[in-house]
Amino acid sequence: MNYSYTVKYLEFEGKKDFLYFSFEEETGILTNFFTGEVVNFYKTIKDQIEQVLSKKKRRVECSGNDCYWNISPKETLIVDNFANEGEPSEITVDTQELRRLIDEWIAARDKFREQKTKGEI
Higher-pLDDT residue of 28, 90: 90
Which residue, 41, 28, 45, 38, is CA-closest to 82? 28
pTM of the model: 0.91
Task: pLDDT band for 14, please (50, 70, 90 cuts).
Answer: confident
pLDDT tens readout for residues 44-91: 999 999 999 999 999 999 999 999 999 999 999 999 999 888 888 999
Round to whole Å and give the CA distance between 107 and 25.
23
Round to whole Å and give the CA distance between 93 and 96.
9
pLDDT tens readout for residues 91-112: 999 999 999 999 999 999 999 9
On the question of pLDDT at 32 being above 90, the answer is: yes
